[in-house]
A and B are shown apart, each in its own frame.
Chain A
Amino acid sequence: MSAPKTLYDKIWDAHVAHEADDGTCLLYIDRHLVHEVTSPQAFEGLRMAGRNVRAPNKTIAVPDHNVPTTEDRVKGIDNEESRIQVDALDANAKEFGIHYYPVSDVRQGIVHIVGPEQGWTLPGMTVVCGDSHTATHGAFGSLAHGIGTSEVEHVLATQTLIQKKSKNMKVEITGALRPGVTAKDITMNVIGKTGTAGGTGYVIEYCGQAIEDLSMEGRMTVCNMAIEGGARAGLIAPDQKTFDYCYGRPNAPKGSDWDLALSNWKELYTDENAYFDLTITIKGEDIAPSVTWGTSPEDVLPIDAVVPSPDDFKGGKVDAVKRALDYMGLEPGQKLSDVEIDTVFIGSCTNGRIEDLRAAAEILKGQKIKDGMRAMVVPGSGLVRAQAEEEGLAQIFIDAGFEWRMAGCSMCLAMNPDQLAPEERCAATSNRNFEGRQGRGGRTHLLSPAMAAAAAVTGKLTDIRTFVGVA
């Protein structure tokens, strides 16, 4: 009998096309997702070298980072550079014959939401994209990670990546979550515990009762932020929820292929006694609704905590915290639940799925956002938007005073017209609170969709457990 394997070991072993003596492998890539920002130089490289896309059928492109999210975008993109980048993706998709969802297609959206939605992402696969949040797809038990543009070109040309295997880390969230605690709080708390470099060199497998209890949407939120903990990828073993999610999707296997796939996917779990280089265990009941206070995703605390002092830290982090507090305009000792908010952003590949919109809408029923608040909901895809409209969620957002937007990355990274002004403070369901991430000088607090909705109503960071509304 062979040695027990982790889920990561199994997927890795099934995709090694070539292994050199020093352990450098050619890892075969089953799905290559492409967006407009990190791909133009890669396609140009192919053209210059007279190379082709090896597997256009395994390559899927969609513009998301640059696209405006206002309804008038059908008239075209005003910003010339953004327009050139999106036009370049249009042209490259045609020239190289890859699958493509243009801005005008209802299926367009954030690449990490479109992939699973269209059934391109399936258990046991290798998935890459020139985007660090490719980790999202690990929720299906697929090995998924971000790559740079040179690697995008390498995958386009050869359908492989030159890789060495990472180490295995297990992150177990035991027991049940308390009311008001979400997948977002889980993933932020893991980063709070490991630090943003804690996962460097590892692939994380998330497991435990609290992970099993999550929906596929929640699992995608957890895996999405694996990269913020420095990990190459995050994985969750597929189960019946995963199979049910995949079944019937446009690009999922059908008929006898489905049966064969299913029997294969049921082998995708970590064997008993498989070796993990590192194991971290967190009790689900210990996780509180959380929010970030600084400029790194590791700067996370329960909503009922106070802003820390630089003196609470050691080493290089002391100066980093001083700088972060200055940037964020916060004082040590200030209660997080007293921090006033100018803007609320609900969306992104972290929290732009239907379940996220349902959670936010649930809070906003019969409520109004605070006077002067700027609040927007940006569905992760055109199909999420359509479903939210059908379920009546869109009307709840609009009645509450939110802007109801078209699909795209929007204010998560401000490469499009949705940006913060200097010192504008935003409660955001996205994934990065870096300096300038949402606009130069903009201040970002990361939190869950329900917490973001509550902040829009009260005008400040709000403990969802005690939120009773204003109406």
Chain B
Amino acid sequence: MEKFTNVSGVAAPMPLVNIDTDMIIPKQFLKTIKRSGLGVNLFDEMRYNQDGSEISEFVLNQAAYRNAEIIIAGENFGCGSSREHAPWALKDFGISVVISESFADIFYSNCFKNGILPIKLSKEAIEVLMDDASKGENARISIDLEEQTVSATDGTIFKFEVDAFKKHCLLNGLDDIGLTYQKIESVDQFEKKQAKITPWL
């Protein structure tokens, strides 16, 4: 995984609540056996008409947001299916930060495995950032993961919480499996113990 670096860029406002993973990447694009190339289908049914033409009102089709790196979203972003295709599609489009009041559990976890930082902030902070985001290219939002801050366009700084281990992995681009292999002896021991206590497993 690539190391996560600080982001400063345009943020797309998506105030709708409960944006689910079927919206982020509809089921017909789950048939791939690769992780790449899904960006073009991100938010497919909100973004394109049935004939494939763009729906001009959709935020990511507007000139200001075509290269957005950040999404400011309504609460409970990423609810629904466990499909990792959702963060794959976001990342492939170029999104590396999603900011919302709340995220669905599995989606939240999937983001960190793919170099995307999901940031939870208060309702008040989201209102400021949503307002910034609606100003398009004129408003830049900056994220510093090391410092755990989001800077609004006028310089207001919002601190955010992130799990220390997840932050460490994201900043250093660490592979989870490699890290777990370093502790694999504890798994060996666990299996030996379990074989005695619950041999039917």
Q: Which A residues are within 8 Å of any B CB, using their own CB?
A: 17-18, 20, 22, 24, 26, 28, 30, 37-38, 40-41, 44, 49, 51, 58, 65-66, 79, 81-82, 84-85, 88, 122, 124-125, 130-132, 145-151, 153-154, 157-160, 162, 164, 196-197, 200-201, 230-232, 252-253, 257-258, 260-261, 264, 296, 298, 315-317, 319-320, 323, 413-415, 422, 432, 434-437, 440
Contacts and interface: CB of A to CB of B under 8 A. Distances in A.
Q: By DSSP majority rule, is chain A's interface helix, strand, loop, or mixed?
A: loop
Given A18-B183, A158-B180, A200-B104, A257 B79 contact: no
Listed residue (B102, B114, B199, B201) with the most chain A CB atoms within 10 angstroms of its CB? B201
A230 B27 contact: no
Nearest to A152: B84
A436 B22 contact: yes
Contact of A85 (B31, B183, B200): B31
B17 interface: yes
Nearest to B187: A17
Contacts of A432: 20, 22, 80-81
A434 B45 CA distance: 12
B56 interface: no
A148 to B, nearest CB: 4
Contacts of B23: 434-436
Contacts of B76: 196-197, 200, 230
Sorting the interface of chain B by its residue count into under 10, 10 to 19, 20 to 34 or 35 or more gives 35 or more
B31 A148 contact: no
B157 interface: no
Contacts of B176: 150, 154, 162
A436 B16 contact: no
A461 to B, nearest CB: 23
Given A130-B82, A164-B163, A197-B79, A125 B201 contact: yes
Nearest to B16: A320
B83 interface: yes
B26 A436 contact: yes
Interface in B66-90: 74-76, 79-84, 87
Contacts of B201: 30, 58, 122, 125
A371 B88 CA distance: 44
B134 interface: no
Nearest to A80: B31
B128 to A, nearest CB: 16
Contacts of B164: 22
A26 B66 CA distance: 40
Contact of B177 (A147, A154, A200): A154
Given A24-B165, A230-B104, A41 B199 contact: no
Contacts of A65: 30
B106 A159 contact: no
Contacts of B186: 17-18, 26
A85 B29 CA distance: 12
B22 A148 contact: no
